[in-house]
């Protein structure tokens, strides 16, 4: 259904024909959007749809190429984030901009008027945080806070500027279900005060639950508007993608083979002052199993991935065993030679070299034995370009990687398409063990569905898969077993069908009942 307000009439914010070009490419193309006072308005779209570009123009980070922004009935030019804040627009970005060595109050002070004393800022921040149900200790150091508490700082910092409109970019991607519920209560309170929220999220159930209206972008253009409560997650996804999104067929939750990956007594000291130590981690994954590890960001996921992959070997060989061989002290290459594959969280610079072509990234990621298929000559010193090119093409087709040319630089792909290639590159080896960290982070619905199905299919074919993820929808979609990591400790695994979101949320929040069965009713 179409938007219910007449463009611009009574709107707090109205954008008309707003366009942003980068060279000949229009990231936003003649966008019309109205946000009413006291409204929670969703902005939906796939990766690359233009959402980030649009909100950066609204917050003064980017300058529009053409079009008009109307604020409270008058045209405005928003030249900087400072201008946006003075108008009454606040923004909480997906990636926080906080200094870990500073206190909460000191971080808040950085974005406020220099003339306000730090003591007054601390006092106001504490009072405001309590009033909105976002309790904070202004004197705590950011390094000691959970990700959920860090997000509260960003929201309180925005609220201290008394905004009429707050833009939130993927605000629940780092929260437990319980923390998300508290955030929604805060948003309803803001709405009751007549403030407006522009809400960007790929979690469509949330959008249905809290948003009054939604505007959908595709390829930089507005393709629809609706009342989310009158839609389903599937119909919202269809509006975003332009076609039905394939649902993931569930993994087999019964047939298990031999243990392929075993971890026992894995403890890792923090490598930096702000790293999370791992504490006596134990897990086992068999052929045909997908062990999904849930947790809020910053609870040891990166450290666990590094220990499993061999990026940071440990001192005890038996702490990590791959296919019956102790590998705790061995590096990545030795573990790959045993049939293991790894997909790190960070795409650029870690999983791929952005400036290099996809084919060169493919060769780089192969261990010596895998690489032989691409080499020729007596000393195996000549790269068989045809074989590499064919493999690159095969991976791209199987994972539906959309790219600008046959073999472009990795950095030229969108985040979702590069992620599909990186996952496909590992799957192409048919690894006996695959460990993947945040497989669909920042990836749109269509790409996420393809990646998740590929992981399920790999396990069906007899591999052991470990998925480390902050996305509970993803975890329920792919897992045969679920464990939760909190403050560097890993719970015992539970069969996926025996856990509810509430139970996982409690475990994510630090309730360690690793040896007991879940008390909640079964969720099937």
Query: Nearest-CA neighbor of 492 among 506, 502, 482, 477?
Result: 482
DSSP β-ladder status, 221-226 and 325-326: unpaired
Query: Nearest-CA neighbor of 495 among 247, 254, 177?
Result: 254
Structure tokens given for 521 = 């009713």
Residue 380 has a pLDDT of 58
Residue 52 has a pLDDT of 87
User: In the chain, what are the domain boundaries?
Assistant: 258-339+434-524
Question: 428 CB contacts (<8 Å, ≥6 apart)?
Answer: 391, 394, 395, 398
Q: What is the pLDDT along the chain (524 residues), one digit of tens a residue?
A: 334 444 445 899 999 999 999 888 899 999 999 999 999 999 998 877 889 899 999 999 999 999 999 999 999 999 999 999 999 999 988 777 889 899 999 999 987 767 778 889 999 999 998 998 888 899 999 988 877 788 889 999 999 989 999 999 888 877 778 888 989 999 999 999 999 999 998 888 899 999 999 999 998 999 999 999 999 888 888 888 887 777 788 777 666 899 999 999 999 998 877 778 999 999 999 999 999 999 887 889 999 999 999 999 999 999 999 999 999 999 999 999 999 999 998 888 889 998 999 999 998 887 666 667 777 766 556 777 888 899 999 999 988 888 878 899 998 887 778 899 999 999 998 999 999 999 987 677 778 888 999 999 999 999 999 999 988 889 999 999 999 999 999 999 999 988 888 888 888 877 654 444 444 433 33
Q: Distances from the Cα of 215 to the Cαs of 47, 136, 201, 345, 460, in angstroms?
A: 15, 33, 12, 30, 39
How far is the C-alpha of 444 from the C-alpha of 59, rounded, in Å? 24
How far is the C-alpha of 419 from the C-alpha of 434, rounded, in Å? 15
Query: Nearest-CA neighbor of 503 among 462, 472, 470, 471?
Result: 472
CA torsion angle 172 174 176 178 (round to 10): -40
Residue 203 has a pLDDT of 85
Query: Nearest-CA neighbor of 302 among 488, 94, 508?
Result: 488
How far is the C-alpha of 200 from the C-alpha of 214, rounded, in Å? 10
Residue 471 has a pLDDT of 86
List the strands of the sheet with 74-76, edge to edge.
25-35, 13-22, 66-71, 74-76
Count of other CB atoms within 10 angstroms of residue 247: 12
How far is the C-alpha of 34 from the C-alpha of 9, rounded, in Å? 9
* Residue 28 bridge partners (DSSP): 20
How far is the C-alpha of 489 from the C-alpha of 475, rounded, in Å? 18
How far is the C-alpha of 469 from the C-alpha of 293, rounded, in Å? 6
pTM score, two decimals? 0.74
SS3 (DSSP) at 521: coil
How far is the C-alpha of 175 from the C-alpha of 117, rounded, in Å? 32
Residue 523 has a pLDDT of 39
Query: Nearest-CA neighbor of 299 among 140, 145, 438, 485?
Result: 485
Q: Distances from the Cα of 119 to the Cαs of 102, 126, 142, 143, 441, in angstroms?
A: 15, 11, 17, 20, 39
Query: Nearest-CA neighbor of 42 among 50, 51, 31?
Result: 51
- Token pair 């034995």 is at which residue? 369
CATH number for the domain whose boundaries are 258-339+434-524: 3.40.50.300
Count of other CB atoms within 10 angstroms of residue 104: 27
How far is the C-alpha of 142 from the C-alpha of 150, rounded, in Å? 7
Q: Distances from the Cα of 65 to the Cαs of 19, 68, 198, 243, 347, in angstroms?
A: 6, 10, 22, 30, 30
Instruction: Give the percent of the chain with pLDDT over 90.
Output: 56
Q: Distances from the Cα of 521 to the Cαs of 240, 293, 428, 477, in angstroms?
A: 34, 21, 39, 19
Region of 412 on the Ramachandran plot (φ > 0 left; ψ -120 to 50 alpha; else beta): alpha
Which pairs from 226-233 meet CB under 8 Å and 24+ separation? 226/1, 227/1, 227/4, 228/42, 228/204, 230/1, 232/208, 233/204, 233/205, 233/208
SS3 (DSSP) at 280: strand
> How would you label 335-347 residue by residue, b for 16+ Cβ within 10 Å and e otherwise?
bbbbbbbbbbbeb
Query: Nearest-CA neighbor of 172 among 192, 186, 193, 190?
Result: 186
- Helices 415-427 and 385-398 pack at an angle, to 10 degrees, of 110
Question: Are 34 and 8 spatial neighbours (Cβ–Cβ below 8 Å)?
Answer: yes
- Token pair 């493919």 is at which residue? 362
Question: 359 CB contacts (<8 Å, ≥6 apart)?
Answer: 385, 388, 389, 391, 392, 407
């Amino acid at each position: 259904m179409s938007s219910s307000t007449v463009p611009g009439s009574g709107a707090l914010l109205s954008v008309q024909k707003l366009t942003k070009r980068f060279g000949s490419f229009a990231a936003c193309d003649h966008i019309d959007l109205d946000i009413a006072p006291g409204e929670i308005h969703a902005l939906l779209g796939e990766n690359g749809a233009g959402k980030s570009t649009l909100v950066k123009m609204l917050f003064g980070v980017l300058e529009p190429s053409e079009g008009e922004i109307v604020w409270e009935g008058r045209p405005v030019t928003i030249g900087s984030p400072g201008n946006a804040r003075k108008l009454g627009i606040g923004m909480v970005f997906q990636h926080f901009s906080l200094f870990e060595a500073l206190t909460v109050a000191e971080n808040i002070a950085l974005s406020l008027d220099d003339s306000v004393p730090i003591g007054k800022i601390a006092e106001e921040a504490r009072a405001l945080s309590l009033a909105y149900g976002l309790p904070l200790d202004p004197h705590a150091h950011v390094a000691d806070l959970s990700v959920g508490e860090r997000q509260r700082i960003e929201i309180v910092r925005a609220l201290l500027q008394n905004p009429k409109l707050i833009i939130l970019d993927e605000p629940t991607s780092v929260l437990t279900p319980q923390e998300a519920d508290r955030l929604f209560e805060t948003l309803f309170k803001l709405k009751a005060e007549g403030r407006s929220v522009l809400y960007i999220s790929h979690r469509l159930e949330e959008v249905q639950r809290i948003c009054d209206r939604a505007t959908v972008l595709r390829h930089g253009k507005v393709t629809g508007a609706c009342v989310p409560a009158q839609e389903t997650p599937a119909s919202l996804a269809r509006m975003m993608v332009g076609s039905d999104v394939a649902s993931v067929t569930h993994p087999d939750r019964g047939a298990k083979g031999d243990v392929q990956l075993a971890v026992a007594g894995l403890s890792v000291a923090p490598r930096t002052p702000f790293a999370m130590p791992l504490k006596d981690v134990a897990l086992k994954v068999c052929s045909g199993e997908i062990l999904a590890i849930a947790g809020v960001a910053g609870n040891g996921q990166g450290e666990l991935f590094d220990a499993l992959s061999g990026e940071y070997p440990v001192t005890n060989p038996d702490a990590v065993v791959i296919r019956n061989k102790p590998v705790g002290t061995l590096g990545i290459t030795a573990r790959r030679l045993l049939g293991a594959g790894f997909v790190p969280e960070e795409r650029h610079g870690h999983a791929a070299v952005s400036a290099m072509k996809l084919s060169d990234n493919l060769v780089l990621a192969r261990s010596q034995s895998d690489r032989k298929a691409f080499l020729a000559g007596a000393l195996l010193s000549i790269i068989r370009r045809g074989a590499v090119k064919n493999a690159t093409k095969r991976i791209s087709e199987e994972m539906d990687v959309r790219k600008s040319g046959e073999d472009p630089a990795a950095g030229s792909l969108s985040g979702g398409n590069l992620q599909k290639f990186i996952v496909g590159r590992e799957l192409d080896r048919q690894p006996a063990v695959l460990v993947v960290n945040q497989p669909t982070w920042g990836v749109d619905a269509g790409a996420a569905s393809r990646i998740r199905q590929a992981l399920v299919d790999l396990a069906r074919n007899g591999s052991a898969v470990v998925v480390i993820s902050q996305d509970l929808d993803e975890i329920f979609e792919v897992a045969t077993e679920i464990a939760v990591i909190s403050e560097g400790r890993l719970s015992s695994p539970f069969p996926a069908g025996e856990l509810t979101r509430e139970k996982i949320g409690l475990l994510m929040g630090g309730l360690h009942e690793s040896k007991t069965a879940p008390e909640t009713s079964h969720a099937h």
